[in-house]
Amino acid sequence: MRVLHTMLRVNDLGPSLAFYVDVLGMKLLRRTDYEGGRFTLAFVGYGDEASTAVIELTHNWDTKSYTLGDAFGHVALGTDDIYATCDRIRKAGGKIVREPGPMKHGTTVIAFVEDPNGYKIELIESKR
């Protein structure tokens, strides 16, 4: 068994796709509109779904907004240079909500960015 994807419900698919594709550099892997069910599924990721976990963005056409629960934490992405990644994200219009630095009570360098829906994305610098 392996992790296939994580699903996030999004308010507006356009800005969400722009964030994950243009700001975070993921690829839109597939998108399907379900007219009868009035929803769209868009899968984004850094690699092929056959070999890597991806994110499923679910847009329910008739739902304008969601209340983020306090049980969900974040999605984590690894990066070789967290400072350069944060600079690139900031220049692309992304919102850094925790600047890069060591995690509390540890030495791993992390940062957090927020998507247009308020979901947190943790960036974790790879150990060199």
Give the residue numbers marked as catalytic: 122
- The Cα 16–Cα 65 span in angstroms is 13
Task: Please tell me whether residue 22 adopts helix, strand or coil conformation.
Answer: helix
- Residues 62, 9: contact at Cβ < 8 Å? no
Closest CA to 76 of 110, 44, 49, 103: 110
- In terms of phi and psi (left: phi > 0; alpha: psi -120 to 50; beta: otherwise), the region of 68 is beta
